[in-house]
């Protein structure tokens, strides 16, 4: 039984190593940001450098992504709570459509992605806010807008990153970098 577990573990390690070698042999992406911290409505600006070691055909994308930890339901064991990560926001931009990247190719592509507002990033109060907008400007509308803001604030912390991906046949080239967004 122990040799079976060791064998499975060794196969997983070998698979991960082969995956990384395949990515390395294709080329690499470098992501550079001008600033890694912005407020809502400000632009995250930067560049992605594509370096191809072998010919590839693909599409280059960048995305602003927010994730948060969610408690797994019914997963508490021995006084420990288990969590899983869930994506709650994504804004994709295509920098380069499908094209050929010949061996030895190296070029930088610039991008600019606007940071979202709190209501765009957090959907908790969106339905309450929609109901408030349907009502006239009265006391009930004000109360519902306040409730929507409270629902947005009570949600857990968001973890942001910018990711760049060259989608090619086989193994994609991928990189990401942490960013901080002050939602307003």
Whole-number Å distance between alpha carbons of 150 and 138: 19
> What confidence score (pLDDT) does residue 139 get?
66
Q: What is the radius of gyration, based on Cα positions, of the chain?
A: 22
Nearest to 145 by CA among 133, 159, 136: 133
What per-residue confidence (pLDDT) applies to 19?
76
Instruction: Return the pLDDT at 102.
Output: 94
pLDDT digits (tens, 9 = 90+) for 101-145: 999 999 999 999 999 987 777 665 455 555 556 666 666 666 666
Residue 148's SS3 state is: helix
Q: Which of 26-35, 67-76, 171-180 has the lowest mean pLDDT?
A: 67-76
| Interval 51-66: pLDDT, tens | 999 999 999 999 999 9
Closest CA to 110 of 162, 67, 159: 162
Q: How confident is the model at residue 158 (pLDDT cuts 50, 70, 90)?
A: confident
Instruction: Collect all residues with Cβ–Cβ distance below 8 Å to 97 and sequence separation of at least 6.
Output: 59
pLDDT above 90: residue 149? no
């Amino acid at each position: 039984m122990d040799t079976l577990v060791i064998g499975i573990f060794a196969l997983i390690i070998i698979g991960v190593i082969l995956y990384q070698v395949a990515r390395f042999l294709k080329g690499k992406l470098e992501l550079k940001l001008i600033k890694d911290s912005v407020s809502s409505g400000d632009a995250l600006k930067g560049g992605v450098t594509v370096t191809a070691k072998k010919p590839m055909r693909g599409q280059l994308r960048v995305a602003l992504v927010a994730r948060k930890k969610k408690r797994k339901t019914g997963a508490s064991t021995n006084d420990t709570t288990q969590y899983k990560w869930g994506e709650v926001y994504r804004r994709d931009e295509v920098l380069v459509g499908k094209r050929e990247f010949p061996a030895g190719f190296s070029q930088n592509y610039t991008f600019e992605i606007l940071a979202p507002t709190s209501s765009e990033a957090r959907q908790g109060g969106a339905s309450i806010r929609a109901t408030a907008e349907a009502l006239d400007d009265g006391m009930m509308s004000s109360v519902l807008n306040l409730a929507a803001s409270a629902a947005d604030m009570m949600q857990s912390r968001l973890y942001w990153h910018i990711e760049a991906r060259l989608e090619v046949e086989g193994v994609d080239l991928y990189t990401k970098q942490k960013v901080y967004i002050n939602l307003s």
